[in-house]
Every structure is written in C-alpha cells, then in structure tokens.
Amino acid sequence: MNIKIIVRGKAKGTVLYTRHPVNFLGGIDKKTGQVRDRNHDLFGKSIRDKILVFPNGVGSSVGAYTIYSLKYNKSAPLAMVCLKADITTASGCAISNIPLVVAEKKEYESLKDCQEITVDAIEGKIL
C-alpha cells in the first residue's frame, strides 16, 4: 500500500468520494460543511465528519482558512485522502489537525463512496 503521510493522525469514518477537485473557499460553506458549488458532483452534500476522498484542492489561497473554519465550526471532515496534496489543503489540514494522506492512483480508485474505512496517518495505512 502506497500512502504518503502529509498530516499525522488517525480517523475512522464513512467515505465521501468525488472525482472533482474541491475549491474550499467558494465551494464549501465554512459554517455547515455543505458543498454549495452547483457544478460540483457533491453539491448539497456535507463533508462534515466524513472521510473526504478527492483528487486535490483548487482555487483561492484563502481556502486554507476555510478548512480551519470548518474545524472551528465543528463541520470539518474527520480525515482527507487525495491524489495530489496541494499547498492550500496541506496547510489548512496542518493547523486544523485533520489527518491528510496522499494515495496512489490505484489505491485511490479502489475506495468507494459510503465505505467505512480507517485512515491511519501514523503508520501510513488505509484499512
């Protein structure tokens, strides 16, 4: 299993899976965790208390504060799994203590929506 640890931690929860990049600043409601970007396939769903599986973050540099706001408002994901960790997502997760790992493509694509998984970002495993 090829998992790269970006922010250490461990979390167990339900996968919320998307193939689309996430724009945290414009795309997510920082109070509730709801996806409010109408063009996103997760539109209307909430990332709160989920294991968010997404390719990478895009958009404004201020998105890092959106991730921190989600944590502050108790609406953050339990952990994040991505294909390519961008600076905005990595820095946002780092100050919010949200475990973040990068998975290889094969590993990433084997994850399914609604699946129960444990992200172990200490040992570097997804179970």
Partner 1 sequence: MELTKEEEAMLDGKHGETLALAYRILAAIGEATGADKLIPVEWAHLSGVNYNTIGDAGETFLSHLSKDAKFKIKTTVNPMGFDFDNVSKFGLDEEFITKQQSIKHSYQKMGASPSFSCIPYEIFELPKKGTQVSFAESNAAIYANSISDLKTNKESALSALASALTGKSPHSDLREEENRKPDLTIRMRAESVDEVTYGLLGYFAGKQAGSSVAISGIKELDRRSCKSLCAGMGTSGSCGMFTLDEGEGEKIDFDQKEVTKMRDELNTSESGDIITLGSPQLGLGEISDLVARLKGRSFKKHCMIFCPRAIQGQIHNLGYDKELNRAGGELLYDCCTCLTPLIDKKDVDAVITNSVKGAYYLRTSNGVDVNLKNLNRIVEEETQ
7, 77 contact by CB (below 8 A): no
Q: Percent helix, strand and coil across the chain, each rounded to 5?
A: 25, 30, 45
Strands 125-126 and 116-120: antiparallel
> Interior CA angle at 100 toward 53 and 114, to 5°?
30
Nearer to partner 1, 86 or 115 (CB): 86
We find the least distance from the C-beta atom of residue 95 to partner 1, in angstroms, to be 6
Please select the residue that binds partner 1; options are 10, 20, 45, 71, rule is CB under 8 A: 71
Q: Is 61 a catalytic residue?
A: no
| Token digits of residue 120 | 């172990």
Determine if 5 is a binding residue for partner 1 (CB under 8 A): yes
Site for partner 1 in 73-112 (CB under 8 A): 73, 85-95, 100, 102
Give residues in contact with partner 1 (CB under 8 A): 4-7, 25-26, 30, 37, 56, 58-65, 68-69, 71-73, 85-95, 100, 102
